[in-house]
């Protein structure tokens, strides 16, 4: 008689424990999914803002000879504002490093211009323009990768 009561009791207890564990794991999974969605949405918004700032040095049509070192300095300050007003928190590690490399190169170009005691109101050299444009292009690629916007989906095949 004891086993007739004990087996169903243990079965119910075991089923309850498994149900609780699975339910808890499902709640955690749902929470992580909601958090990932929120992070992606905010990242998408912030990356679009950064993308607009990078239009200063487009590949096409090239603006070699049109953008000045002064405009580049002002652009760099806008990037800095974007970074410290929240955008930097959402950069993935590789994207953050690419962003910092771009800012370092901008600073290097401006400091070289100042070291030569040249005006900042003059257009960027073609060499500086091309280096910076490539870094910005690389950053745009990293932003797209973070947003998964350049991956083929089953629906787009």
Most distant CA atoms of the chain, gap in Å: 99
Other CB atoms closer than 10 Å to residue 15's CB: what's the count?
10
Residue 5, φ and ψ in degrees, nearest 5: -90, -40
Which tokens hold the place of 123? 């257009």
Instruction: Give me the tens of pLDDT residue by residue for the chain, a chain 157 residues long.
Output: 577 777 777 777 777 777 777 676 777 777 788 887 888 899 999 999 999 999 999 888 988 989 999 999 999 999 999 999 999 999 999 999 999 999 999 999 999 998 888 789 999 999 999 999 999 999 999 999 988 866 655 555 4
Taking the C-alpha atoms of residue 65 and residue 91, their distance in angstroms, rounded to an integer, is 31
Rounded Cα distance between 151 and 122, Å, is 40
Q: Provide the 10 A C-beta neighbour count for residue 18.
A: 10
Name the packing angle between helices 93-115 and 126-146 (round to 10°). 170
Dist CA 90 CA 39 (whole Å):
8
- What is the value of pTM for the model shown? 0.76
């Amino acid at each position: 008689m004891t086993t007739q009561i004990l087996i169903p009791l243990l079965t119910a207890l075991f089923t309850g424990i498994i149900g609780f564990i699975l339910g808890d794991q499902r709640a955690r999974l749902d929470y992580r999914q909601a958090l990932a969605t929120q992070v992606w949405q905010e990242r998408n918004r912030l990356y679009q803002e950064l993308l607009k700032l990078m239009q200063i040095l487009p590949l096409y049509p090239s603006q070699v000879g049109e953008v000045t070192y002064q405009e580049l300095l002002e652009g760099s300050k806008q990037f800095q504002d974007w970074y410290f007003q929240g955008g930097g928190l959402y950069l993935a590690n590789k994207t953050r490093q690419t962003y910092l490399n771009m800012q370092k190169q901008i600073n290097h170009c401006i400091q070289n211009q100042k070291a030569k005691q040249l005006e900042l109101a003059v257009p960027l050299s073609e060499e500086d323009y091309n280096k910076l444009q490539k870094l910005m292009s690389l950053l745009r690629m990293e932003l797209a990768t973070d947003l998964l916007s350049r991956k083929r989906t089953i629906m787009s095949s």
